[in-house]
Amino acid sequence: MSQNILHTGKRVHNMALQQIQAIPEELFDVQPPQFNNTIRWHVGHMIVTLNYFLYKATSFQFEIPEVYGRLFSPGTKPSDWTVAPPTKEELLECISGQLKGLEGISAASLEEPLKQPVDLGPMHFENAGELVNFALIHEAMHLGNIASMLKVIKQA
């Protein structure tokens, strides 16, 4: 089962990379009134949260710039930014780096209990595979948000 999680994770992350590459950067900062954030925020948030979940679950080590946490963590929003956000190219480099890092995770490591359980609202995770699986679902949810935003932006 753990091998399946990793296989799916690589596919989802690669799909994210391809979808994000196809979006013109001039659309990254458009914020339709129906949404709380922008495409750039969603992409950065996916990077920050995947790093967090994989770090908590495995030996995953992929460094992202420190400013990403201030820009893209849960509860942040572009209207609060006081520094310039990363470019599309910088974000794509991080996603590519994370994809390479995913290849270094062993299936056996997903069978291990977490060093410390992780609670996210009503959710409780005790083993690495559970948390990695949730990370992939989270990433897919944000890809869906990006797709919805693009539809609204293109109809405006």
Q: Which CA distances in Å does 40 have to 33, 56, 76? A: 16, 24, 12
Low-confidence ranges of the chain (pLDDT < 50): none
| CA gap 106, 60 in Å, rounded | 10
pLDDT at 130: 94
Give the pLDDT score at 150: 95
Tens-digit pLDDT profile for residues 57-102: 987 878 999 999 999 999 999 999 999 999 999 999 999 999 888 8
Do 99 and 14 contact (CB within 8 A), yes or no? yes
Q: What is the pLDDT of residue 125?
A: 96
d(CA 135, CA 137): 5
CA distance 44 to 95: 9
**Number of residues written out for the chain:** 156
pLDDT at 1: 67
Question: Where do the DSSP E strands lie in the chain?
Answer: 113-120, 123-127
Could you tell me the pTM of the whole model? 0.94
Start-to-end CA distance of the chain, whole Å, equals 44
